[in-house]
Amino acid sequence: YRESKKLYDEDEDFAVKARNYVVKLQSGDEYCAEMWKKLVDVTMIQNQRNYDRLNVSLTRDDVMGESMYN
């Protein structure tokens, strides 16, 4: 995230592409939605590994993405 934020702030081409992908995702673009789902799945799997390693009793059912809180 930090590297992307830095690149976003320093590289206008990257910032434009990033904004365009956000618009596509929010507009229901199938490709973007599928890529987002894959990213979330990979993240949740890794988070669960960390929870298990730390003996934290959270499961995927206990966790929601930040967009669920709006």
Strand (E) or helix (H) holding 8: helix 2-10
For each of the chain's 70 residues, which pLDDT tens digit applies? 899 999 999 999 999 999 999 999 999 999 999 999 999 999 999 999 999 999 999 888 888 777 666 6
Buried b or exposed e, range 35-57, using 16+ CB within 10 angstroms? eeeeeeeeeeeeeeeebeeeeee
Output the pTM of the full model.
0.71
> What range defines the domain where residue 8 resides?
2-69
Phi (first) and psi of residue 50, to 5 degrees: -65, -45
Total count of domains within the chain: 1
